[in-house]
Amino acid sequence: MAFLFVNVQLFLLIALVWVLQTQVIYPIERTLLDPSWVAVASTLFLPAGFKVIIAVIMGWMAAPAILLSTIFGMWLHTEDLLFSSHFAVESTISLYIPILLIRFLKGGDQGVDTTKESISLFRTAVVVTVIAAMLNAFFSTVLYGTSAPLGIWLHFLIGDLLGTIAVVGMVVLFRQSIYLWIAKRLAR
């Protein structure tokens, strides 16, 4: 039951961030930046930051919320449910590949103990973001071929990285209360 409750809360949190992204950040970027640049991907993509931090801290437990919230968010952005579903699967797989690699390199199930070291959380989040953004761009190019814009990898990398750095900054500032919130939810 705790698993379901936590995933519903995570879904709502990430969905709220997607609404912020589509209703506030995208319009601001289209006004301030070259519209052709931000048509492909945001330069400050906060949903990526939230998904990375949540996946790094909670692992596979958060995968359902990440997948479903990405479907919702992409649907808000594109109004195409089929594309949104494909993209959500692709980006969720891209997100968990580097997490699996890091855990494998650390000797199995051991993740980074982010409760004690905020620098470890930052380093892990940045590494996961860079690899996930590159994989996301690669999978998009493979799946959509020539319809994927040239240089898509750079768009994904910049937006995801800046979004992750912004979110990690907020998490580091408020990490104690965030960990207490998560621990209370998991204890139920």
Which residue type sits at 118? S
Short-list 175, 160, 178, CA closest to 47: 160
Burial class (CB in 10 A: 0-12, 13-18, 19+), 88: buried
**φ and ψ of 100, to 5 deg:** -60, -40
Give the pLDDT confidence score for residue 23 in this predicted structure. Answer: 92
pLDDT digits (tens, 9 = 90+) for 61-118: 999 999 999 999 999 988 999 989 998 999 999 999 999 888 888 766 544 555 455 5
Distance CA 123, CA 146 (A): 34
Q: What angle do CA 179, 168, 156 make, to 5 degrees?
A: 135
The mean pLDDT of the chain is 83
Residue 131 has pLDDT above 80, yes or no: yes
- Range 28-52 average pLDDT: 84
Distance CA 82, CA 91 (A): 14
Residue 11 has pLDDT above 60, yes or no: yes
- Range 149-171 average pLDDT: 82
Give the pLDDT confidence score for residue 110 in this predicted structure. Answer: 47
Domain ranges of the chain: 2-31+40-187
19: number of Cβ within 10 Å: 14
